[in-house]
Structure 1
């Protein structure tokens, strides 16, 4: 059983709905806690309305008290207050693996995290994190200085995360290069065919699938490998769910065909 903590996308392409679909497709049940209401179409976020931190905390506490949660996935957080509240609670549950998808900007470019929130994530959540899954721009923002992705990963590991998976869709390489960096110094690199178009909710899908693998008892490496394969297959079957014209090539994540029996 997974607890997904994140924002609500009214179009269903990302956020909690993407988490639920990905977790179910990987054979687990997904509970959830909403951090933010978003106002967005299929291209970009127009506005963000974080819930009061105590409301988010009450949702999480209710699930943890009632359900046998085997992994937690955090996506869009929305405020420093929510970050602090979640960190304070999760410190008392160190046995539950935590996958952090640092949603720092919308696909259309709208920033979703300011400098103070970034610093709070670094100081409060990274030491509790089993795996953080930034894309390359997110890794550079979180590292706050180093420019090479390996330097970014090293800094994030030094700040407490047990593993860093940096995805390379935003880089200029012919193939997409995803690299898993582990605290013990190991590196695991995988190359993937670059698909045409852009994909909304791919980061949510990947992190949620990793959480499902960890909940099933897989090693971090095996959970990441399975999640990368699942996510690529989902993107390859993506479909356009909206009519937004500003990004006409935008495609959407879909898990059809990969659901468990």
Structure 2
């Protein structure tokens, strides 16, 4: 009898009680793109569409235990990292991932929520860049995060390219600087890698009040497509297409009184099955 397996993706991130970002958005994205989602929760946030009011960190040993349990048994084909609240946690995650160099890692350096709430301790930034960035296949900072990480003010595509190249100095293999906050009808994302390749992705601005969790969703979509066997540049392009569609599909829906979620399940795919040879 033939046997099959699903593409497995692991998200290491914080929980959003409002369901729009973090672990919840990641798992929705994995499922919508035909992957089997697994998770290691780093923190519990008290959150809804109006903002974050409290954060409770999960003990580092418990987070490490979750990651190891998934890797040892389900053997994910890709890992997405989101909210890493403390320096100790960043070191703990790196300790495990150092032993798994073959698994592609998409790292979204989540620092500030859409509502402006700080999601990372000050001393964590240096540890994040020194311990986790060198293990990342790609990091996906937005304009504000790239500015914090590089000290470069980003107002245009040239600034984004300079920041992306500077971020390569941290040892990561590639960088995707997201330009969704640019004040322009045409939005740009800038990709550079350690081999000298550069790509500028263009997209049309979509007016919507429902964009909570966009960064989480994009990085998760990249992870899902990598788990499905796509090359990184293709995975990024397909993930950007998915983001455009989930924003468009959710722009006229009211969920909560603030910044609402995307419509992750506008066109969900069935779980993909690969034959085990």
The TM-score with structure 1 as length reference comes to 0.94
1:114 Cα deviation after fit: 3.1
Equivalent position SS for 1:27: coil
Partner of 1:24: 31
Which of the numbers 28, 31, 54 marks the counterpart of 2:61? 54
1:197 Cα deviation after fit: 3.0
Which of the numbers 158, 171, 175 marks the counterpart of 1:164? 175
Quote the Cα distance in structure 2 between the aligned partners of 1:212 and 1:227.
9
Structure 1 spans left out of the alignment, 5+ residues: 245-249
User: Is the 8 Å Cα contact of residues 49 and 260 (structure 2) preserved in structure 1?
Assistant: no
User: Is the 8 Å Cα contact of residues 32 and 264 (structure 2) preserved in structure 1?
Assistant: yes
Which of the numbers 199, 203, 218 marks the counterpart of 1:188? 199
Q: Which stretch of the first structure deviates more once superposed, 87-96 or 39-48?
A: 39-48
Which of the numbers 149, 168, 179 marks the counterpart of 2:160? 149
Aligned length: 256
1:150 Cα deviation after fit: 1.7
1:169 Cα deviation after fit: 1.2
Deviations 1:85-137 (A, max 9, x none): 00011000000000001110010111112331110111000100001111111
Quote the Cα distance in structure 2 between the aligned partners of 1:240 and 1:75.
26
Which of the numbers 206, 230, 238 marks the counterpart of 1:218? 230
Query: Which of the two has higher C-alpha Rg?
Result: 2
Higher relative contact order (CA 8 A, sep 6+): 2
Structure 2 spans left out of the alignment, 5+ residues: 1-7, 271-277
1:24 Cα deviation after fit: 1.0
Alignment of 1:242-261 (within 5 A): 242-244=256-258, 250-261=259-270
Q: Does 2:258 match 1:240?
A: no
Tell me how large the CA RMSD over aligned residues is.
1.3
Q: Does 2:187 match 1:176?
A: yes
Quote the Cα distance in structure 2 between the aligned partners of 1:106 and 1:53.
22
Equivalent position SS for 1:96: coil
Quote the Cα distance in structure 2 between the aligned partners of 1:190 and 1:129.
21
1:161 Cα deviation after fit: 1.1
The TM-score with structure 2 as length reference comes to 0.89
1:242 Cα deviation after fit: 0.8
User: Is the 8 Å Cα contact of residues 43 and 107 (structure 1) preserved in structure 2?
Assistant: no
Quote the Cα distance in structure 2 between the aligned partners of 1:39 and 1:24.
24
